[in-house]
């Protein structure tokens, strides 16, 4: 899980400098966020050309309308939301599909384990693998929420806005995701159930704390 390297205050400041027409600030925004936006875009759509075209349009758009756009203390959130919209529009145009359900058919938010520094208890690694495998079986929308919240440090309401869904459905989705996770892990590993159950309860508590 990676937090923004910039604090809210630094976000606000950089964005304001950019809005007041500082070309250095625009360049810094590109340096800081382009690779990250690229990764998010590529996770949504497995098409480099399309992601690049949308990023091109997006950066150009914010530059040209910099005097009209509002303040933000989370540039990543602002850009994620704009990029996802652009990709959605481009895909709708491309595939003539209106239904959200088909839009990110190739979306791939896969969870994997960091190589742990310490060779801790083997069991812990094993159990982590089980949880990871189960997380990867969640529907892609649920994985996207987890990605935005855990990996990118957005709040739930920001994740909801990026994905253009309501807070209620984010809450429901996470709840459903974790219940499903609990059930399936329990079914698979009865013996380890106690430990994993503790982990998942802790995970849920952690998620709830983020509200």
Partner 1 sequence: MEEQDPTGNYIRNIHFKESSPSQADLDRLRSRIWNDIAETETKKGWWNRPYYLIAASVSLLVVSAGIAWWSMRPSHLRTAYGEIRTITLDDGSHVTLNANSEITIGKDLADNAVREVWLEGEAYFDIAKRNGAKFIVHTPEAQVEVLGTEFNVNARRQNTRVVLHEGKVKLHAAHAPAVVMKPGDMAIVSERKQPIRLRPVRTELYDSWKESTIVLDGKPVGEITEMLLDNYGIRVSFADTAFLSKKLEGKLSLQSTDDFVTNLATILDLEIEKDGNSYLFR
x/- binding map, residues 14-53, to partner 1, per CB under 8 A?
Answer: ----------------x---xx--xx--xx---xxxx-xx
Scanning residues 140 to 179, which ones bind partner 1 (CB under 8 A)? 143, 146-147, 150-151
Window contacting partner 1 (CB under 8 A); options: 68-76, 113-121, 174-182, 188-196: 113-121
Number of residues that bind partner 1 (CB under 8 A): 50
Instruction: Output the smallest distance, CB 38 to partner 1, in A.
Output: 4
Window contacting partner 1 (CB under 8 A); options: 11-19, 154-162, 184-192, 195-203: 195-203
Do 77 and 11 meet the contact criterion of CB atoms below 8 Å apart? Answer: no
Q: Which residues of 96-123 are buried (b: 16+ CB within 10 A; e: fewer)?
A: eeeeeeebbeebebebeeeeeeeeeeee
**CA angle 156-141-203, nearest 5°?**
55
Instruction: Output the smallest distance, CB 181 to partner 1, in A.
Output: 12
Instruction: Output the smallest distance, CB 187 to partner 1, in A.
Output: 21
**CA angle 82-85-87, nearest 5°?**
110
- d(CA 176, CA 170) in angstroms, rounded, equals 10
Window contacting partner 1 (CB under 8 A); options: 13-21, 73-81, 180-188, 197-205: 197-205
Please write down the long-range contacts of 109-112, taking CB distance under 8 Å and 24 or more positions apart: 109/43, 109/140, 109/143, 109/144, 109/146, 109/147, 110/136, 110/143, 111/135, 111/136, 111/143, 111/146
- d(CA 37, CA 49) in angstroms, rounded, equals 14
* Comparison of 157 and 195: residue with beta carbon closer to partner 1: 195
Instruction: Output the smallest distance, CB 118 to partner 1, in A.
Output: 11
- d(CA 199, CA 205) in angstroms, rounded, equals 10
Binding site residues, partner 1, CB under 8 A: 1-2, 30, 34-35, 38-39, 42-43, 47-50, 52-56, 59-60, 63-64, 90, 93-96, 108-114, 116, 128, 131-132, 135, 143, 146-147, 150-151, 199, 202-203, 205-206, 209
């Amino acid at each position: 899980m990676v937090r923004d390297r910039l604090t809210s205050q630094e976000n606000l400041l950089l964005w304001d400098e950019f809005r007041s027409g500082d070309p250095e600030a625009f360049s810094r925004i590109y340096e800081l966020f382009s690779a990250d936006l690229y990764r998010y875009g590529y996770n949504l759509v497995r098409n480099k050309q399309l992601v690049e075209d949308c990023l091109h349009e997006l950066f150009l758009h914010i530059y040209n309308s910099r005097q009209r756009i509002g303040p933000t203390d989370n540039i990543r959130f602002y850009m994620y939301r704009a990029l996802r919209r652009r990709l959605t529009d481009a895909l709708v145009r491309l595939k003539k599909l209106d239904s959200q359900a088909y839009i990110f058919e190739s979306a791939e938010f896969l969870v994997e384990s960091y190589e742990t520094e310490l060779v801790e208890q083997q069991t812990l690694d094993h159990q982590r693998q089980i949880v990871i495998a189960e997380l990867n079986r969640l529907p892609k929308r649920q994985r996207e929420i987890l990605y935005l919240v855990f990996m990118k440090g957005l709040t739930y309401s920001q994740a909801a806005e990026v994905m253009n869904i309501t807070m209620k459905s984010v809450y429901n989705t996470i709840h459903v995701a974790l219940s499903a996770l609990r059930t399936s892990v329990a079914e698979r590993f009865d013996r380890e159930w106690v430990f994993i159950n503790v982990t998942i309860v802790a995970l849920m508590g952690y998620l709830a704390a983020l509200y």
